[in-house]
């Protein structure tokens, strides 16, 4: 069974913000002639990397709700210019929306068992996805989503 990570998506107010940011970063890399890949840099190296790469994802908490995920493709350790060990979590740039799940703030990332992860929202939820993000957030805060 796959293991996942969960992390706060700081600076994004919606899944749409995250998608725009990813597109911007990919375009920057394309223009710079760098490999066109999406990654998130983190200070800590996951010790359970093989479990994460066996179908795991990074679940994003946006505005106190898990709202989406990105599939983990690779975990790439490196040492930055200041000599500090870090790692790149290489992610599929496709953002998969999930059912919303409340989550309190925390620092860094945490492991998330598949059994505790929110399920993906399929095409059967087209009406939900057509709602403006602000309305979806308000309904979720009221416990109606």
pLDDT tens-digit series, residues 94-142: 999 998 899 988 888 999 999 999 999 865 566 666 777 677 767 766 7
The whole-model pTM stands at 0.85
Residue 13 has pLDDT above 60, yes or no: yes
Asked if 24 contacts 16 with a C-beta cutoff of 8 angstroms, the reply is: no
In whole angstroms, what separates CA 133 from the centre of its chain? 17
């Amino acid at each position: 069974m796959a293991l996942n990570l969960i992390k706060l998506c700081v600076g994004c107010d919606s899944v749409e913000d995250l998608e725009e940011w990813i597109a911007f970063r990919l375009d920057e890399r394309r223009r710079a002639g760098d490999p066109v890949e999406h990654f998130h840099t983190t200070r800590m190296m996951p010790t359970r990397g093989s479990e994460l790469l066996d179908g795991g994802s990074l679940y994003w908490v946006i505005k106190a709700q898990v709202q989406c995920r990105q599939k983990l493709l690779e975990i790439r350790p490196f040492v930055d210019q200041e000599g500090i060990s870090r790692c790149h979590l290489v992610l599929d740039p496709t953002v998969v929306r999930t059912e919303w799940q409340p989550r309190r703030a925390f620092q860094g990332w945490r492991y998330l068992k598949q059994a505790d992860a929110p399920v993906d929202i399929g095409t059967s939820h087209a009406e939900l996805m057509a709602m403006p993000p602000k309305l979806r957030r308000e309904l979720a805060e009221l416990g109606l989503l």
